[in-house]
Amino acid sequence: MRNPRRPSRAQQRELARRLGPGLHRNVALAGQTSFKIGGPAALLFEATTAEALATAVRVARELDIDYFLLGAGANILIGDRGFAGLVIANRARGVSVRGTFVTAASGALIYPDVIDTAVAHDLSGLEHYVGIPSTVGGALWQNLHFLSPAPARERTMFIGEVLHSADILGADNVRRRVDVDYFEFGYDQSVLHGRDDIVLSATFELEPGHGEALARIMDENLRWRAERHPPLDAEPSAGSIFKKIDGIGAGRLIDEAGLKGFAVGDAQISPRHANIIVNRGAATAAEVCALIMHVQKRVEATTGYWLEPEISFVGGFAPIKRIAA
Ligand X SMILES: C=C(O[C@H]1[C@H](O)[C@@H](CO)O[C@H](OP(=O)(O)OP(=O)(O)OC[C@H]2O[C@@H](n3ccc(=O)[nH]c3=O)[C@H](O)[C@@H]2O)[C@@H]1NC(C)=O)C(=O)O
List active site positions.
Answer: 240, 310
CB of 50: closest distance to ligand X in angstroms? 25
**What's the min distance (Å) between Cβ of 270 and ligand X?**
8
Shortest Å, Cβ 323 to ligand NDP = 26
Beta bridge partners of 264: 267
* Nearest alpha-carbon partner for 310 in 146, 196, 142: 142
Asked if 169 touches ligand NDP (CB under 6 A), the answer is no
Q: In angstroms, how far is the first alpha carbon of the chain from the final one?
A: 28
Only segment of 7-15, 141-149, 176-184, 277-285 that touches ligand NDP (CB under 6 A): 141-149
Residue 100 or 127 having the CB closest to ligand NDP? 127
Q: Among residues 47, 56, 65, 69, which is the contact residue for ligand NDP, using CB under 6 A?
A: 69
DSSP class of 110:
I
Provide the mask over 80-99, with x wherever binding to ligand NDP is found by CB under 6 A and - wherever it is not: ----------x---------
Burial (0-12, 13-18, 19+ Cβ within 10 Å), 13: exposed
- The Cα 73–Cα 58 span in angstroms is 22
Q: Within 20-135, where are the H helices?
A: 50-62, 115-120
* Paired strand residues for 324: none
d(CA 211, CA 118): 10
Write out the residues near ligand X by the rule CB under 6 A. 145-147, 156, 239-240, 243-244, 249-252, 255, 260, 273-275, 310
| Cα-based angle 89, 37, 292 (whole degrees, multiple of 5) | 120
Query: Would you count residue 29 as binding ligand NDP (CB under 6 A)?
Result: no
Task: Enumerate binding residues for ligand NDP (CB under 6 A).
Answer: 69-76, 90, 106, 132-135, 137-139, 141-142, 144-145, 192, 198-199, 239, 312
